[in-house]
Amino acid sequence: MSKQRKHDIGFSNFGFSTILLAFVMICIVTISAISLLTANSDYKLSKKVAEKNTAYYKAEEKAYAKLEEIDTLLALAYQDSTDETGYYEACAVRLSCLDYGTYEVIDMTHTYSYAIPIADGQDLLVILTLQYPNSANDTFYQIYSWQSKYETTIHEAETLNLFQ
């Protein structure tokens, strides 16, 4: 009877295949969850980049509109003047009527600068170097700088007091 019992109790392989199937399913679910999280974070990042690019190009459009207005005022200043000194004086008078920007003379270089807000803490800074043209068809300025600047201020309420 003992020999017959050994033959009745056989080894079945369905336990190993069930464990293997469960392990594969756990791996597939884990990889799917990680893929979903990665896709979601990529979507959020691309959305932020698109918003920042849109804000930058809107600010650039405004900067070009202001640049066109400045160019018109400089052409009128050139028409009103007879020499270089008179041109720069007329530039100072005409550009002072604008509600944006700053006219400065530093080391005999006449500059006009203005900033267009892009987003919180970010501005598009434009600096123009004014120049006396040889004729009415010449340029009245050169773009010295056209760049976005970030305002980096540390607010004391946002700092941690580590030493007490």
Q: What is the pLDDT of residues 97-133, one digit of tens each?
A: 888 888 888 888 899 999 999 988 899 999 999 998 8
Number of domain units in the chain:
1
pLDDT at 37 over 90: yes
With CA atoms as reference, report the closest residue to 71 among 139, 133, 135, 132: 139
Model-wide pTM > 0.85: no
Predicted local distance difference test score (pLDDT) of residue 158: 64
d(CA 138, CA 135): 6
DSSP class per residue in 56-122 = HHHHHHHHHHHHHHHHHHHHHHHHH-SSHHHHHHHHHHHHHTSSS-EEEEETTEEEEEEEEEEETTE
| Domain assignment of residue 14, yes or no | no
Predicted local distance difference test score (pLDDT) of residue 43: 96
| Domain assignment of residue 113, yes or no | yes
H or E stretch covering 19: helix 14-80
With CA atoms as reference, report the closest residue to 63 among 100, 115, 103, 104: 115
d(CA 114, CA 63): 9
| Domain assignment of residue 161, yes or no | no
| Domain assignment of residue 90, yes or no | yes
Q: What is the pLDDT of residues 53-83, one digit of tens each?
A: 999 999 999 999 999 999 999 989 898 888 8
How much is the mean pLDDT over the chain? 86
Residue-number span of the structural domain to which 76 is assigned: 38-156
